[in-house]
Chain A
Amino acid sequence: MAVKTFRSRIRESIANDALQTALDGNAEKRVKGCLAAFASLPDHQERRQRAYAVRAEVIAHLDEYLAQFIAKVSKNGITVHRAQDAAEAVKIVLKIIADSPWRRKEHGENQNNIPVHLRSSAVNSPPLVAKSKSMVSEEINLNHALAAAGIHVVETDLGEYIVQLRGERPSHIITPAVHLRRGDVGQLFHEKLGIPYTEDIPTLTNTARKVLRAVFLTADVGLSGINFGVAESGTLCIVTNEGNGRMCTTIPPVHIALMGMERLVPTLDDLALMLSLLPRSATGQKLSVYTNLIHSPKRETDADGPRERHLIILDNGRSAIRYSLLAESLYCIRCGACLNACPVFREIGGHAYVGADGSIAPYPGPIGSVISPGLFGCENYGHLAQASSLCGACKEACPVDIDLPGLLLRVRAGEETRPPKIGGERREEREDEKKKEGIGLPFALKLGLRAFRLAARTPRLFAVMQRVGGFLSRIYSPRSAYMRAPVFTGWGFSKDFPRLAVKPFRARWRKINRDPQRTGARGAKDAQENIKKKNELRALRDFAVRSSLTDQFAEELAALGGAAYRVSEKELPGKLAEFFQTRGIDRVFVDEVGSRYVKGISLVRAPDSDVRAGITGALAGIAETGSLVIIAGAGKPLTASLLPEIHIAILKTSEIYASLPQVLNLREVREAATGILITGPSRTADIEMTLTIGVHGPGELHVFLIDNP
């Protein structure tokens, strides 16, 4: 019984105090963070409407945009695969892994750094897959399928890693371990990783960093999701905060990206629009720490990057949704804001959304209650849509303004994959509709609503029923205007029910209408004349024009926990030497720009586990977000800004641009195999929503700004 399992899960969630505390913390921190982040975007309501239009355009003309996108991606040297369903996607992943000539790289020496449970057996070393967050992989149950094929998959997002170690599914699209508290993680790491029990979040994070670092360095394949594909340029955009996404797409020799077929935007400007909304809605950031813009595998002259890149584009029911009345659910950009805003999610958490078969729905929350039935059928997940008070907090929170309450209503009405009606409908269609509607609704309620309809359809009968009800409720509850309702009614679980009036309004009207007071209506106003559409004034805040782009860049960077120093080109070597001396650094990983300015200490030009600092040039900066732009290329190892604990970047102030769209359209960014926007030091909030700096990427970011004449 579908509804029974669902309701028992709900009861368990509500009775679980630790879960309740965790969910309250999530809701409060995320909603607050989101509001604060949007305060810096005065036109955000208008942007939401534009984003809606962009996504609507893509879904309406998906075939054309997909063709354009696939042509570009293939031309850029990435192998494109298309999968109709989960089984086909899994088959493709397995085949890529089996066929890859790069798989058996020499990893032997690094194996010792890996905890025993992750070590491949020396004799029969199974392939190791380092995986960054992908909801599509959850949807197709990829981890399970790979494990069954003898492949070792390690989740590398901190939250996903925790959830994987526990043998669970993520309970939130963005914060997979939102249901756990620090003590749970401490106990887990104690048991599975053999560290002493601790509740110190930085210690826990650092433990995961060490374990997973070895995984990145030895993995045969990196697997990731995709946030957006750009049709005009073939760009694959992946946003991540911890740096694991960068690791998985840079270090292993093979990168496989999984993508839902709907995740496209037409142009780079559209991408910029989406990137102004997604991180704000998801985590309250102006930009995520790492915005990866991937175009191709490693090119001949590039310092690093994977030799092979594959893109798997998954349908898995999306085409069917596209032609149904639930098409708007495909506009979703998976930010999780609707989960954070939803009062129902806040009470029950992601693991309570279960199907009729008892399985946890891959996508929880308001959007999940639409796309789970849409993608996998109403029979198994349709009842989830009934668990909403239709309060609309989800729609309000949605960065692309999806009408989630409207879509939930359509799922309830059994509209899941029926094509939209064109013109009038025939009688037999109406009959068919009737069978499916009210999915998940208990029989007693259906009967009650039917009886109510029969009475309310006939005003006289309705009036009689009101009188009878009024009389009976007076007998049932002679003294109190609110009656004790039995628990089985549902209502009586937590509240009393109002007594029906002995004399309803319709019976009072005649008397009211004759009331002499009413004839004294004063000040006749012609209401018709005044009828107007409400015109809400939207006071846009005036933002003081900042003194200069450089100052704005430095301010934004400082707010993220990074540091900026303004120096002349001549002073730079001296300042760097001073920096290294005070930090006790005697070896540094350099790219070609860095090597020009670092004097007097030993330089390394390839990844090395002992080197603490990396120094790189930066192609550009973005003032509004404090971001650096780094690209792959000859003499430009991406790992120099990724593997060391400290990243030092050199940026010319003339290369600081005002905003994101300008940078995304730079020729160098469009043409590089990979471009990365770095927005502050690596970070996570996967344990109890507590911000922790320094996960997989550098924990320190220092930018030397060169004022060129």
Chain B
Amino acid sequence: MPETVQLFVTCLVDTFFPHIGEAMVKVLTRAGVNIDFPAAQTCCGQPAFNAGLRSEARPLAEHTLRVFEKTSGPIIVPSGSCAAMVRHGYLELFDGDPLWYPRAQALAERTFEFTEFLVDVLGVTNLEAHWDGKLTYHASCHLLRGLGVDRQPRALLSTVKGAEIIELPHADECCGFGGVFSVEHPEISAEMLKRKINNLEATQSPTLVVADTGCLMHIQGGLVRQGKGQRVVHIAEVLENREWRIVDGSQDLPFTNP
């Protein structure tokens, strides 16, 4: 029997980018695992936690714990920062709590970021994916420095047939999202985003790959605002592709900016 994994799609994928969730399901299926989706899941509580509102974050963390405690097997998250929230943030949130801390610990041990699970747990790097054209990878902060996951997504991308991987200059620099930070300090966030977009343009790659949906909506939002044609995709979207697919700047965009 293949192991059954629990999908924690995160509120961003659920609400804004369901196609990333679908891509993830296809990739995991191809990798040979059964998937379940606990329907009562909502948000891990990270936005409030990062804003310092722990009393608002706590009920959502408790809810998430309750939902996933009813299930078994690894929990897969398509976002570095949400995975880091469950792995590290919950331990801080419930620190010193005799009831909840052990529960948070148990959940943390079951939680994996998507690419980390594929490479480190399943031992898969080649998913027979195809992508025709240049790709460049942005190393999201919480994925890279929070979870120490970097070689995994890079290994997965390196096996994508047809893709020309170009190193993004300063790939490890923050794009300026940071949750409420981007709303609270829009001026600083905008400058950081500008730097990221300039670096992306230097690669001349029409496609930027990320493994965190926060960065995705932030960088894509900035590109659209600036009228630029580059597309930001989640790594699951790249790995999902089994057909040769031509991606040429704005042609393939799922949206057009009036």
Interface residues of A, Cβ cutoff 8 Å to B: 7, 10-11, 14, 343-344, 347-348, 385-393, 395-396, 406, 409, 411-414, 420-425, 430, 433-434, 437-439, 441-442, 445-446, 449-450, 452-453, 455-457, 459, 462, 466, 469-470, 479-482, 484, 489-491, 493-501, 503-506, 508-509, 512-513, 517-518, 521-528, 530-532, 534, 536
Contact = CB atoms under 8 A, between A and B. Distances in A.
B187 A14 contact: yes
Contacts of B5: 527
Contacts of A390: 50, 141-142, 178-179, 181
A423 B98 contact: yes
B191 interface: yes
A31 B72 CA distance: 44
A513 B37 contact: yes
B40 interface: yes
Interface string B97-130: 1110000000000000000100011110000000
20 contacts: A343-B195, A389-B181, A392-B141, A413-B54, A414-B52, A425-B96, A437-B52, A441-B51, A441-B180, A459-B41, A479-B258, A480-B257, A491-B182, A491-B183, A497-B221, A498-B17, A501-B15, A505-B9, A512-B25, A532-B121
B43 A456 contact: yes
Nearest to A485: B221
Interface of B: 1-3, 5, 9, 11, 13-18, 21-22, 25-26, 29-35, 37, 39-43, 45, 47-57, 59-60, 63, 73-74, 92, 95-99, 116, 120-123, 141-142, 144-146, 148, 172-174, 176-195, 217-218, 220-222, 224-225, 254-258
Given A11-B187, A396-B145, A441-B51, A347 B192 contact: yes
Given A457-B59, A508-B18, A521-B2, A387 B185 contact: yes
The 8 closest A-B pairs by CB, nearest first: A389-B178, A412-B52, A481-B255, A495-B221, A494-B190, A391-B174, A493-B186, A527-B3
A386 B224 contact: no
B148 A445 contact: no
A164 to B, nearest CB: 29
A455 B17 CA distance: 19
Contact of A521 (B34, B63, B99, B189): B34
Contacts of A442: 184
B224 A482 contact: yes
A452 B30 CA distance: 35
A419 to B, nearest CB: 11
A496 B14 contact: no
A500 B12 CA distance: 9
A506 B25 contact: no
Contacts of B255: 479-482
B181 to A, nearest CB: 5
Given A424-B99, A469-B15, A505-B13, A434 B184 contact: no
B183 to A, nearest CB: 4
B15 A388 contact: no
Max chain B CB contacts within 10 Å: which of A387, A422, A453? Answer: A453
Contacts of A532: 120-121
A522 B39 CA distance: 26
Contact of B174 (A389, A412, A439, A517): A389
A519 to B, nearest CB: 9
Contacts of A385: 52
Contact of B18 (A433, A455, A503): A503
Contacts of A493: 186-187, 189-190
Nearest to B2: A524
Contact of B50 (A393, A409, A525): A409
Given A343-B173, A392-B141, A423-B96, A482 B221 contact: yes
A394 to B, nearest CB: 10
A504 B51 contact: no
